[in-house]
Amino acid sequence: MIHRAVRNLALLLVALVVGGSPVIAQGIQAPAERTFRDWVVGCDNARACTAVGMIPAENIDVAFIHVYRAAGPGAPPQFSVVIYDDTSPADRRMSISLDGAPIDRVASSRLGQPVLEFDGFRQSTLSDAEVGPFVVALRRGSRLQVGIDGGVSAEVSLDGAMAALLFIDDMQGRIDTATALARRGSRPAASVSAATPLPLLRAQPAGDVGITDRRAAAVRAGWATQAARACAQSEAAESTEPETMAPLSGGRILIGVGCGGGAYNFDTVFGIAEPGDPLRVTPARFMPPPVDGSGPGGVGESLTNAFFDPATTSLRFSTKGRGIGDCGSSGRYVWTGDTFMLAEWRAMPACRGVPEPFWPELWRSRDQ
């Protein structure tokens, strides 16, 4: 199970780029992801980009640099420094330095704000005036020291930093413009590519529809054989008992059967029962972004660690690269009336202590 989940994630990230350039249906921007030594960078289908600079692989104490920039000539870069310290008092200040020395025109002592829902993580965002000097420091330094006064100290590797920022410049059409981070030039900001419009998804509510015991039994019977076959292909098949049964629009019913799993990844195979014949259950299809290759959980009826939200008729999923959940992929599919469409998706291929909200986002949509 774990090996299959990691393989699916790797296949998806590789599939996003063919021959070095994003390939996707006309009118839609291809998401793209790269790893440059100790930095991971990803750009989504609207050309918004995220880069994460991490601790060296051999280090234990966690800190990282988070960079986000939306597309378009007027979008400013946002830089944050994050550290994990779950023992020091919350009012202790953060400190940052470059190779043991202060960074010119960047405050060394800073207030660290707690990261909501992630106890122990503290974040300090650079001001607009600090971003330029900080990028200069990234170019010439090797390690960024981050600490809590009287508490934890950690080092962020700058190996790969400028390559990651150059990738953002390239994906957003900023190279040789005044807005570039890594390769500035004389081209006007107006030449920078605009953001690509996000796809619009119209979620279809199920309405106040109940499922009778008789119809539920028929749906289970209709899905049993196919679910058993799908679960038999899982690396950790254990059970074919229904875990999910919920009404969808148009009189359809969603059924999900758990296939078991390992310590932290659990597969569920989903089917959709038609309104006229409850014994007729077809596999739900979870398609990846419109590029060649595998998508989250593979192109098919299976999702990992899935949860159905009836209020939004959406399925959330997540694949953990290891138990603490600091790497893998996560996202959400929305029921649009006849199929589930990908609404959001983010991924982190490196396991270096970075919590999910800071992972590069690779697919977004507008829900309606």
Condensed to tens digits (0 to 9), the pLDDT of residues 326-335 reads 999 999 999 9
d(CA 36, CA 164): 6
Partners of 67 in the β-ladder: 51, 79
Of 123, 156, 191, the domain-final residue: 191
Same domain assignment for residues 243 and 331? yes
* Percent of the chain scoring above 70 in pLDDT: 86
- Residue 27: predicted pLDDT: 52
Confidence of residue 145 (pLDDT cuts 50, 70, 90): very high
Q: Give the SS3 label for residue 53.
A: strand
Helix 161-171 / helix 128-140 crossing angle, nearest 10 deg: 120
- Asked whether the predicted pLDDT for residue 255 surpasses 90, the reply is yes
The answer to whether residue 24 is domain-embedded is no
Residues 6+ apart with CB under 8 A from 29: 22, 44, 45, 46, 47, 196
What residue numbers bound the domain in which 56 lies? Answer: 29-191
Tokens encoding 186? 């004389």
Buried b (16+ CB within 10 A) or exposed e, 206-220: beeeeeeeebbebbb
pLDDT tens for each residue of 346-362:
999 999 999 999 999 99
Residue type, 337: G
- Asked whether the predicted pLDDT for residue 6 surpasses 70, the reply is no
Same domain assignment for residues 256 and 314? yes
Confidence of residue 231 (pLDDT cuts 50, 70, 90): confident
Please state the domain count of the chain. Answer: 2
Query: Within 184-305, where are the H helices?
Result: 213-232
CATH number of 138's domain? 2.60.40.1880
- Give the strand pairing for 266-273 and 253-261: antiparallel
Same domain assignment for residues 225 and 363? yes
Q: What pTM was computed for the model?
A: 0.87
Same domain assignment for residues 64 and 173? yes
